[in-house]
Structure 1
Amino acid sequence: MSAPGAGELVERVDEHDEVMAVVSRSEAIRHGWLHRVATIVCRDTAGRTLVHRRPDHASRFPGRFNWMLGGAVAVGESYEEAAARELAEELGVRGLPRLVLKFRCAGAISPYWLGLHEVVVAEPIKPDPEEIAWHDWLTGSELVELVRHEAFVPDAREAFDRYLAARPGPGPL
């Protein structure tokens, strides 16, 4: 996720994800105003899911595990555009992530609209060390086990549960 700061502008949105105003992300978080976040679930060609640990110096959820990459949607940006930008910034990969679901996330820090995307990554990744301290590709059963661990980002756990509920059928991840 992008570094926090008073300079990062986001669109404050309402309960229907309609734009109300442009505010700083730090202000949106401080006041609990809804804004938009785009996330990406990366799979390799074998169907495994990329999981990473956030750096210990990260401002949000330091040292925690996550199955999604992502960050705030910038002013005037679509969820899909933000997901593609974050994929390039965090993994050095160009791709067109596909929106899977969107929901209002309660958020451990503040509420927001979360757009969850998927992409298959067939090229080598170059993780940004400012965003990713460790990474690995996990099978579905390994991911299910890790998601329940206390060191997992709580918002990512909520997204995982919603993702599973929205999937057609009980097949493998």
Structure 2
Amino acid sequence: MGELVERVDEHDCVLDIVDRDKAIRARWLHRVATVVCRDDAGRIFVHRRPEDSTRFPGYYNWLIGGAVGVGESYEDAARRELTEELRARGRIRFVLKFLCQGAIAPYWLGLHEAVIDRTVAPDPSEIGWYDWLPEADLRKALRHWPFVPDSIEAFAKYHGSRLADVMPACSNGEVSCGGHEESR
């Protein structure tokens, strides 16, 4: 059995403990914690996933995060992910939680912020490239670079804006989220 997570309902109440891969395949709700990492100048840590990633290889993201473990709080998971992925520490501040539709499967996403030192040591299995971008540059990148679709949805929620304000509409009027499916 792989990574265990809590399967939750539409109110984020625990139903069961399940394997995360099974939760994704069955499209069962579970929990994910993320962190927006800023430096002391307010720039946002943006990274590209490695080309050999199983999910969204080569795609960009502005969030650090992962699954919330069994019995773990969103905040504790965000803190753990920050340490695992960037080998960094910072005071985690909860921002919001929402039911993310997810490109692969839906889940509850807890979004946090942390101001961290720019001297990070990213885990190369999680991060292939990174930089610190001013928010205006991140907004431009979201329109032109291939971002993990869920991070686009989270950006819209983070700023209280509509998704259409972040991403240009397709010719049929629908909002594009990158159209990338899980690599298998």
TM-score, structure 2 normalization: 0.85
2:134 corresponding residue in structure 1: 139
- By how many angstroms is 1:149 displaced? 2.7
What is the aligned length?
Answer: 161
CA distance in 2, matches of 1:71, 1:147: 21
Please give the secondary structure, in 1, of the residue aligned with 2:144: coil
Name the amino acid aligned to 1:17: D
Contact 2:91 2:115 in 1 (8 A): no
CA distance in 1, matches of 2:13, 2:47: 32
Please give the secondary structure, in 1, of the residue aligned with 2:160: helix
TM-score, structure 1 normalization: 0.90
Contact 2:86 2:120 in 1 (8 A): yes
Identity %: 62
Q: Once the two structures are superposed, what CA deviation does each residue of 1:102-153 show, in whole Å capped at 9, x if it has no partner?
A: 0000000000000000000125100010000000000111000111235111
For the aligned residue pairs, the C-alpha RMSD in angstroms reads 1.1
1:113 corresponding residue in structure 2: 108
Q: Once the two structures are superposed, what CA deviation does each residue of 1:11-37 show, in whole Å capped at 9, x if it has no partner?
A: 000000000000000010000000000
Name the amino acid aligned to 1:116: L
List structure 1 runs of 4+ shifted beyond 6 angstroms. Answer: none
CA distance in 2, matches of 1:147, 1:101: 21
2:124 corresponding residue in structure 1: 129
Please give the secondary structure, in 2, of the residue aligned with 1:89: helix
2:12 corresponding residue in structure 1: 17
1:79 aligns with 2:79: no
1:8 corresponding residue in structure 2: 3
1:149-168 pair list within 5 angstroms: 149-165=144-160
Residue segments in structure 1 that go unaligned for 5+ positions in a row: 1-5, 167-173
CA distance in 2, matches of 1:132, 1:152: 13
CA distance in 2, matches of 1:104, 1:70: 16
1:49 corresponding residue in structure 2: 44
CA distance in 1, matches of 2:23, 2:32: 12
